[in-house]
Chain A
Amino acid sequence: MNTLKTILSSACLLLNLVLSAQKKDSSADLPYSNKIEVSNETLEALFHSPENISMDLAPGFHLAGRLQNKSDHGTTVTSLLIKLDSKPGGTLTLSRYTDAKGNIYYAGHLLKLHEQDGLILIEKDQHYYFIETQQRFLVAE
């Protein structure tokens, strides 16, 4: 009886391992507790916003601030620097990159220097997320 139990347990364990190995990465696998999905349209809208900005980037994630700088880098990258009222003293930097095929990518950071945590914008499976992370992994001395 014990031998049968052992064999069945081993088979279950093996099956579980095989299924885990086949599982495709999904956005839910991102190893962060605080992540906020932001649509491409919302990110693009920031590049067409007036100087004073007040918009919801995602449900419960409101951005209010003032466009401090907009600059082009080469012919492919445009960057924004938004000074935040919704996080006093903080800034959102956002860059848009257009590749040779016309595909658009975004990158950015929302942080206040010397604070413990910040947000980094990352892309996974063509979805964008603001991820909360320790700022010492973003800015180093």
Chain B
Amino acid sequence: MKKYLLYIVPGLLMHISVSAQVPLLNSYSPATATVYLDFDGATVDGTIWNENGKIIAEASRLSPASITWIHKMVSDHFKLFNLNITTDPAVYERAPVHQRTRIIITTEGSWYGAVAGVSAIGSFVWGDDTPAWVFMHSLSDNPSFIAACATHQIGHTLGLQHQSLYDSYGIMITELSGGENNIFSNQAPLMGIPFYKQADWKDGHPSTGAGYLQSDTAVIAGAPNNIGYRKATSEADTPEKAVIVERQGPGSLELNSSGNYSFRLFDISGRLLTQGNLKTGYNEIRTSPASTGILVLQWSGEFVSGSQKIIN
């Protein structure tokens, strides 16, 4: 019996630690409009997705480093807008019901079909907590693809249609623009195929027809979402400038912080190395001298949070 316990207990502990390690991140806490990236599994009922009863979505089992990376990529896509991208369920619960959506990032979506994700257009303002979906296995479990797909699905919930490509007669060539070869451009719309090129929001012709023009940013910011654009912040408040690594070496990191933040430091496998608080100004974080390679530092304050990779 003891022999079995030796296997079962560590297994259980590992499972609990995996579930408990979804880092709580917010891209822009002053915003009330909220998108919740849900990585730890969900049971969904009562929505348009529930034709065949309850859906039980598995947890993503992504490492904290991957979750932090995905959160950062999605947050970057929405940095223009007065919108908070969170991984904290409590923040989602506090958001107004007509200005929130949940993106369930789960392993697979066989209940729907062989797609990378699915969402209901405009559901951000429905008020009934209809979630959108990202199916990781269809994206090779690649964090960058998962982030691009999450942004694409969030775009749909905010009312965006696909950005499409039409010929000069207005005939649709492809519903999802961005996959075509173009020797003059290496850019793709986030509402097209955003995986293989530099992707961004676009003003273009949507899938509803060549006669229409869809300005992605105007749709996101405007009615009925009523999100608006983010107020300009001082340079020190931007995630890129708030915490700067001044010096690094085996066993220590020296940082300059623009404010008081809590921080966590992970190694590339997602193992928590240390955590604590940063005060304004000079800070030193002590780690094991063996903690080398790629580390991920995430930090969070009242109004801003962010993360960065450190090669140590």
Contacts and interface: CB of A to CB of B under 8 A. Distances in A.
B98 A71 contact: no
Contacts of A13: none
Contacts of B128: 71, 73, 77, 79, 93, 95
Interface in A57-106: 68-71, 73-74, 76-77, 79-81, 83, 89-91, 93, 95, 97
Interface SS majority for chain B:
loop
Interface residues of B, number: 30
A140 B121 contact: yes
Interface SS majority for chain A:
strand
A73 B127 contact: yes
Q: On chain A, which size bracket covers the interface?
A: 20 to 34
B127 A81 contact: no
Contacts of A83: 51
Contacts of B120: 109, 138-139
B306 interface: no
B58 interface: no
Contact of A111 (B48, B97, B161): B48
Interface string B146-178: 000000000010000110000000000000000
Interface of A: 68-71, 73-74, 76-77, 79-81, 83, 89-91, 93, 95, 97, 107, 109, 111-114, 136-141
Interface of B: 45-51, 53, 96-98, 112-113, 115-121, 126-130, 156, 161-162, 207-208
